[in-house]
Amino acid sequence: MKNFKELRIWQKGMDIAVNCFKIVKDFPQQEKFGLALQITKSGVSIPSNIAEGSSRSSQKDYSRFVEISLGSAYELETQLLIAQKTGFGDQPLIQETLVELSDEEKMLLGFLRKLDT
């Protein structure tokens, strides 16, 4: 398949993943293994599954990994909204990341449609 590093969805996913680590850096200590860990795992999962899917030999397999990335994006969106409502983390960066995440979700949906045709 394609070189995943050339895909805009992977590049944006990487930016989102890096933001996740910045967001949780100043979380309360009691959240380091709770919400903070969930946020970083979901963020890392987005570009990781795009990369793994690109190694698959069929469009159907690739599509499944992109679906997993999309699920991780929705999961991350929920977790960031929780962080926003609780006041944890860098609030302006959370807002910026939510905007980027919305774009990523749209791009993942479009990429899925392309793979499924």
Going along the chain from its start, the domains and CATH numbers come out as: 4-115 (1.20.1440.60)
Name which of 102, 106, 103, 111 is nearest 62 in CA terms: 111
* The model's pTM: 0.93
Residue 51 has pLDDT above 70, yes or no: yes
Output the pLDDT for position 82. Answer: 97
Output the pLDDT for position 56. Answer: 87
Output the pLDDT for position 98. Answer: 98
Per the prediction, the chain carries an average pLDDT of: 94
Distances (CA, A) of 57 to 1, 10, 38: 7, 18, 30
Residue 113 has pLDDT above 70, yes or no: yes
